[in-house]
Chains A and B, each alone.
Chain A
Amino acid sequence: MIIVGMADSAVAKNPAKITTLGLGSCVGIALYDKRSCVGGMVHIMLPSVENARSKDNAAKFADTGIPHLLDCMLAEGASKSAIKAKIAGGARMFSFNSNAQLNIGERNVVATKEVLRKLRIPIIAEDTGANYGRTIVLDTENGKLTVKSALKGEKIY
Chain B
Amino acid sequence: MRMEELNELEASALREIVNIGVGNAVTSLSKMIGKQIKIEVPELKIERIEKVPEIAGGADTVVSGVIMHVDGDINGYIMMLLSKETAEAICATISGEEEVDIFNELNQSMIEEVGHILAGSYVSSLSEFLGLELRISPPMQTFDMLGAIMDHILIEMSRNVESTLLFDTFFTLEGHRMEGILLTLFDPESMDKILNRISEMV
Interface residues of A (CB under 8 A from B): 5-8, 21-26, 45-46, 52-54, 57, 60, 91, 93-94, 96-99, 101, 104-105, 131-135, 149-151
Contact = CB atoms under 8 A, between A and B. Distances in A.
B147 A22 contact: yes
Interface in B45-79: 50-51, 53-54, 58-62, 67, 69
A97 B150 CA distance: 13
Contacts of B67: 94
A8 B51 CA distance: 11
25 contacts: A5-B59, A6-B147, A6-B151, A21-B145, A22-B61, A22-B151, A24-B144, A24-B147, A24-B152, A25-B152, A26-B147, A45-B151, A45-B154, A46-B155, A52-B159, A53-B160, A54-B162, A93-B151, A94-B140, A98-B140, A104-B156, A105-B152, A131-B142, A135-B60, A151-B143
Interface of B: 50-51, 53-54, 58-62, 67, 69, 137-138, 140, 142-152, 154-156, 158-162
Nearest to B136: A98
A79 B175 CA distance: 58
Contacts of A97: 152
Nearest to A52: B159
A98 B156 CA distance: 11
Contacts of A132: 144, 148
Contacts of B146: 22
Given A24-B148, A93-B144, A99-B156, 14 more contacts: A6-B53, A6-B59, A7-B50, A21-B58, A22-B53, A25-B155, A46-B155, A52-B159, A57-B50, A91-B148, A96-B140, A101-B156, A132-B144, A150-B144
Contacts of B150: 24
Contacts of B59: 5-6, 21-22, 135
B145 A150 contact: yes
Most A CB atoms within 10 A — which of B53, B140, B144, B162? B144
Nearest to A108: B155
A134 B144 CA distance: 9
Contacts of A46: 155, 158-159
